[in-house]
Structure 1
């Protein structure tokens, strides 16, 4: 039996349950001379006296603070200044760890918010970055349509780490490409020409700031530029017929790289 007369102390199983450790752990600490039973019951079994249990609680405290087991005995008999210095150091390490974990929690919160909202900017910042024609509800619509795809996951993960300035850079790069494409169309650049292919690759690189974009995926994006009124109107306002011309440029570039637009898939 584990239970015994309190005057004789407590058996190892009773103490183990009370402290939330295993009997094997207490035997190990005893064998190493860290903490063990100093009493003896009436029937001759070794037992833990109150002072022994108190020592075990201190061992547990130091172990929970990360003190190596072999260093515990010295701390148990150390003077107050030594123990205080050790505790101060342990406390500083815990505070630092808490700060690291809080930072991680903040990062996870941003990832969750970005997955839900797409762009972590308020409406005023979105208008400043994306222009007055931008509708904040478009992010929700995009999530509804693409939220289960790997590309949305990549997009939201990147969004979580982007500031207003970062978004301004990303948007600016895409706007520069669209402006260059419009100018090329006005100057009669032929789809499939070297100059047009360079612009197609610039466009794909700009898309790549949102998510990894293959040639096949770029073809499908360009197709939406023509078939979806919002895209078509935006591009054609920049240059009449630009949406359809961009589709031709992107498809010609895909063919030049061995991708058949007719069999393009979202990879």
Structure 2
């Protein structure tokens, strides 16, 4: 048996959090001392590992309680699903690394890698999860990413960012020009071929995202020069309005 303090020191989970998990019925202790202090056995520690995996995958506490309290809860099956989700997070991280390397390789100034710290990665992953969820496009993206080596991914991102560099060369002109519109079509076709089926509706959404700020817009501006993200957004809007 381990005390709540010992479990906290072993796992890095605060005593306050462990107490809260007990209060909401998520992680009850195995026993208590005569003085009323919580005690945890190996079964409780295994349950805590499961909880921490769910938390790592950004499951809300209320959902974890529901899942683990269900009579149908299968620990082995849950672990398999968690592994699959962790693989997806790993692929996303590898994608971001390749993305940053691609920007660096095409001759622009180096990316500030502080933008890719843990908090930013979590924010990026959450936005992707909220935007794509369980859509066919998200599944298609993951399938195509699995089939590529890191070297192929790096080369692909270099080519992808090269399209923004080309659009950046036109940013002082009209986003409705034939040249700009041709590059938007090229961008759409590239996304469809290598990432996911980029319909006009999805393309329009991407255009709005590029203008919305954040790391993606910043990296586009790094590649094509300040104002490129806004120009690309306007060119995409013009392209989609013609359909």
CA distance in 2, matches of 1:192, 1:223: 16
Tell me how many residue pairs correspond in the alignment. Answer: 148
The answer to whether the 8 A contact 1:155-1:211 is kept is yes
2:214 counterpart residue number: 229
Larger CA Rg, structure 1 vs 2: 1
Q: Distance in 2 between matches of 1:191 and 1:137?
A: 33
Contact 2:102 2:155 in 1 (8 A): no
- Does residue 1:194 correspond to 2:178, yes or no? yes
- Report the Cα distance in structure 1 between the residues aligned to 2:183 and 2:236, rounded to whole angstroms: 9
Aligned residue in 1 for 2:197: 212
Residue 137 of structure 1 deviates from its aligned partner by: 4.5
SS for the counterpart of 1:233 is helix
Structure 2 residue 229 is the aligned partner of structure 1 residue 243: yes
3-state SS, counterpart of residue 184 of structure 1? coil
Q: Deviations over 1:231-258 (max 9, x none)?
A: 33333343222222111111111223x2
Residues 101-142 of structure 1, C-alpha deviation per residue, up to 9 Å, x if partnerless? xxxxxxxxx976653433474987675456554725466335
d(CA) in 2 for partners of 1:128, 1:184: 24
Q: List per-residue Cα deviations over 1:156-186 (Å, max 9, x = no partner).
A: 1111111012202220121110100001114
Name which of 156, 164, 168 aligns with 2:150. Answer: 164
CA distance in 2, matches of 1:235, 1:181: 10
The TM-score with structure 2 as length reference comes to 0.51
Q: Which moved more, 1:216-225 or 1:124-133?
A: 124-133
In 1, Cα distance between the equivalents of 2:207 and 2:89? Answer: 26
Alignment of 1:143-158 (within 5 A): 143-145=128-130, 146-158=132-144
Measured in 2, the distance between the counterparts of 1:119 and 1:227 equals: 21
Which consecutive unaligned segments of at least 5 residues does structure 2 have?
1-82, 105-110
CA contact (8 A) 1:115 1:153 kept: no
Matched residue SS, 1:148? coil
Q: Tell me, what secondary structure is at the counterpart of 1:185?
A: coil
Q: CA RMSD in A?
A: 3.2
CA separation in 2, counterparts of 1:197 and 1:230? 24
TM-score by length of 1: 0.47
Distance 1:205 1:191 in 2: 18
Question: 8 Å contact 2:175–2:234 — kept in the other structure?
Answer: yes
* 1:147 CA displacement: 3.3
- Structure 1 unaligned segments of length 5 or more: list them: 1-109, 259-267
Deviation of the 1:230 alpha carbon: 2.5
Q: Is residue 102–residue 154 contact of structure 2 (8 Å, CA) maintained in 1?
A: yes
Could you tell me how far apart the structure 1 residues matched to 2:178 and 2:99 are? 35
